[in-house]
Amino acid sequence: MFNAPPSSILQKANLIGRQNAYRLWHRHQSQSYILRTQLGFNGLKSSRPSSCIGCIHYHGKAYGQTLATRTTLVCGFHPYGWSATTPCPDWKGDI
């Protein structure tokens, strides 16, 4: 018979379960990375507009599932970026 206290058996079972969950999570992350590289999301040039350089309001995250539907949210004030020739009126640098 096994002489270990019940708590150590449960701890070992929990450890094995956590290790298995981590392995599955890591496998999913690896597959997602491979998929992103195959779809061409890596190696894209920067989409930051020159008028947004140094602005604290810059968001710059892209949303969408495919390269065709992917859209970058530049900031909350100007979602597609400031396109006028004058400086952005909402630009605010690091304080």
What is the SS3 string spanning 17-65?
HHHHHHHHHHHHHHHHHHHHHHHCCCCCCCCCCHHHCCCCCCCCEEECC
Tens digits of per-residue pLDDT, 15-71?
999 999 999 999 988 888 877 777 666 555 666 777 777 888 888 888 888 878 888
* pTM: predicted TM-score of the whole model, two decimal places: 0.42
Q: Are 14 and 60 members of one domain?
A: no
Range of the domain at 4: 1-42
The mean pLDDT value for 63-91 works out to 82
Query: Bigger pLDDT: 3 or 26?
Result: 26
Give the whole-angstrom CA distance, residue 51 versus residue 68.
Answer: 25
Q: Are 30 and 11 members of one domain?
A: yes
DSSP state, 77? Answer: S
Q: Are 49 and 61 members of one domain?
A: yes
What is the SS3 assignment for 3? coil
